[in-house]
Chains A and B, each alone.
Chain A
């Protein structure tokens, strides 16, 4: 039965191909792991710090390497013909299998004999023997590198001077922030029309509580004579780019219509910027709330008590920052950055 012989041959070959793919996967995963480890180490050197969660990072790297190896093995998976050739070479079958694969569609007597002969020989060869799961020869070297390079990286990082930004931030930011859990009352203008009012703690966590709709209506009434936004040219309802506030998450951009946007990040931003400048952070009262739609930490139309409290805090924060900026340890690039930041969050009352 030529058909059954051909099907038998193909099923045998498929087994061998599966095994070859597995061997390829194993072979490819090792260099992928090494490559990812090296990339991670390069990033660690670049950032001058080790990962915060080394075990999770290592597991993620391993998983990514396995995925890369699997993808590579599947892409490079041999065809059945190539598998037949490989089996011939590895099991010394003298071109039996590849010839049988070529003859599988033939119905003549010779083709049937070739198929039978190949199947009989294939049965005596195990896929594991033909395609053993061998690690690449470079594994000892790669292993040594994987162990040695991280140690070297850690040593290098410990010897390098700390980043000026990072050295400045932790010591002053803690001082700049209020104790965790201290609640900062948001202005009613921060509430949206659904009646949910945003509040934020000093550690930038945002919680919501429900407020009566009447309070919302009252709070969201635009005040006559005050422009919706003093610095932004954004039209109501359109998101406003927050390129001026790159120091952190500037707030939740709503884009839901006039007076609906809720900004929450101004306190942290002000604190960070002030801390970076070496001064006290007192800008935590400022919350972008306005009709401009987007409510980053820019000076959107502040008609609320939040704006008023921010006005006072702004002056103090800017004074402290201005006093700290000339310090030599502040890189010039960051000085300009702090100036731009304070310029961006300047309240409307203090606009020149």
Chain B
């Protein structure tokens, strides 16, 4: 018999909502505009997923991630990916040290991947070998060095950024690694009022500061609570239909999928959609996910998992639009 009562669940849900609101407010003090992007980033964070943040340079991607970690009292690490970045620079390595009694031994020196929030800046500039160093950490939440497993403490989220413009000297992320990202978030260029607000905040003498609150426990509890949220079979079926419809050989795939997509979303995509939908439900004060929640999160959860075919690449078909077609067709 579970000792968790509805009252405890309600208290945890209230703490989650308060933490979410706090983060949104603190990020809003530093990062101007784009509330949808912020909400999706927080949803991904509370689901303990990893996000690929794509945007032109100078749009505040790094600031956004750093603010998130500061506002909730988590450890933060930034990895600036370059072609000469080595896997050991990410996961850590064994270092020969001398003990007090004079004996020497190898001690594992943890890399930046062991932080609660990891920012892999311009991840597509790292070599595939280094990129693959993120794979195990992101999926298994552990790293293996010299045959020894080192577990990464939760909460743990990797936020990787990439520049969609400069492709020279980059190593586009392979599909296997793209699939490990929970969401792909697009940072838009701010509109005129937001730009004016950014100038006002960043060119004066007063710099906005973030008030840290809560801690890793709240995030862990929230992540566990999200997984407990109920979901009806009908809603799960909708998610599966969405995922199936991203495959060109599926009978209910829309025309854009048949025309431009070579391979559709994986089961990880369905997992991401369901977890994100549960998070939105909890934010809404419900303890069950609905079809509306699923439709809201389908685009960021599935768009980066589509592999376009030659025609799609040539015609620069937008995966966001294709997933939008899928959602429309499934509705």
A interface size (C-beta, 8 A): 19
**B4 with A99: CB separation less than 8 A:** no
> Would you list which residues of chain B between 241 and 279 have a CB under 8 Å from chain A?
none
B interface size (C-beta, 8 A): 23
**In the assembled complex, how far is the CB of residue B108 from the closest CB belonging to chain A, in whole angstroms?**
40
Q: Given contact pairs A100-B288, A103-B230, enumerate 14 new A-B contacts (beta carbons under 8 Å).
A: A94-B290, A95-B235, A99-B230, A99-B235, A102-B232, A109-B6, A110-B9, A110-B228, A111-B230, A113-B6, A113-B9, A113-B10, A114-B230, A117-B286
**B287 with A114: CB separation less than 8 A:** yes
Residue of A nearest to B2 (CB): A108
**In the assembled complex, how far is the CB of residue B324 from the closest CB belonging to chain A, in whole angstroms?**
21
> Would you call A112 an interface residue if the criterion is a C-beta within 8 Å of the partner chain's C-beta atoms?
yes
> Would you call A19 an interface residue if the criterion is a C-beta within 8 Å of the partner chain's C-beta atoms?
no
A110 to chain B: which residues have CB within 8 Å?
9, 228-230, 287
> Would you call A197 an interface residue if the criterion is a C-beta within 8 Å of the partner chain's C-beta atoms?
no
> Would you list which residues of chain B between 4 and 21 have a CB under 8 Å from chain A?
4-6, 8-10
What residues make up the interface of B, taking CB atoms closer than 8 Å to A?
A: 1-2, 4-6, 8-10, 228-235, 286-292
> Would you call A48 an interface residue if the criterion is a C-beta within 8 Å of the partner chain's C-beta atoms?
no
A109 to chain B: which residues have CB within 8 Å?
2, 4-6, 8-9
A interface, by DSSP: helix, strand, loop or mixed?
Answer: helix
**In the assembled complex, how far is the CB of residue B284 from the closest CB belonging to chain A, in whole angstroms?**
8
> Would you call A291 an interface residue if the criterion is a C-beta within 8 Å of the partner chain's C-beta atoms?
no
A108 to chain B: which residues have CB within 8 Å?
2, 4, 228
Complex Cα spacing A109 to B290, Å? 19
**In the assembled complex, how far is the CB of residue B287 from the closest CB belonging to chain A, in whole angstroms?**
5
**B8 with A99: CB separation less than 8 A:** no
Q: In the complex, which of the residues B2, B6, B10, B288 contacts A99, with contact meaning CB atoms closer than 8 Å?
A: B288
> Would you call A96 an interface residue if the criterion is a C-beta within 8 Å of the partner chain's C-beta atoms?
yes
B interface, by DSSP: helix, strand, loop or mixed?
Answer: mixed
- What are 12 pairs between A and B in contact, CB < 8 Å? A85-B234, A94-B291, A95-B290, A95-B291, A98-B232, A98-B234, A99-B231, A110-B9, A110-B287, A113-B6, A113-B287, A117-B288
Residue of A nearest to B13 (CB): A113
Residue of A nearest to B10 (CB): A113
Interface string of A112-123 (1 = CB under 8 A from B): 111011000000
**In the assembled complex, how far is the CB of residue A127 from the closest CB belonging to chain B, in whole angstroms?**
21
B233 to chain A: which residues have CB within 8 Å?
102
| Contact A117/B232 with A109-B9, A110-B9 known, Cβ cut-off 8 Å | no
**In the assembled complex, how far is the CB of residue A111 from the closest CB belonging to chain B, in whole angstroms?**
7
| Contact A95/B4 with A109-B9, A113-B287 known, Cβ cut-off 8 Å | no
Complex Cα spacing A98 to B234, Å? 8
Complex Cα spacing A153 to B231, Å? 58
**In the assembled complex, how far is the CB of residue B89 from the closest CB belonging to chain A, in whole angstroms?**
43
**In the assembled complex, how far is the CB of residue A27 from the closest CB belonging to chain B, in whole angstroms?**
24
Residue of B nearest to A85 (CB): B234
A99 to chain B: which residues have CB within 8 Å?
230-232, 235, 288-290
Residue of B nearest to A100 (CB): B288
| Contact A114/B8 with A85-B234, A95-B234 known, Cβ cut-off 8 Å | no
**B288 with A96: CB separation less than 8 A:** yes
Residue of B nearest to A106 (CB): B230
Complex Cα spacing A99 to B286, Å? 11
> Would you list which residues of chain A between 107 and 158 have a CB under 8 Å from chain B?
107-114, 116-117
A95 to chain B: which residues have CB within 8 Å?
232, 234-235, 288-291
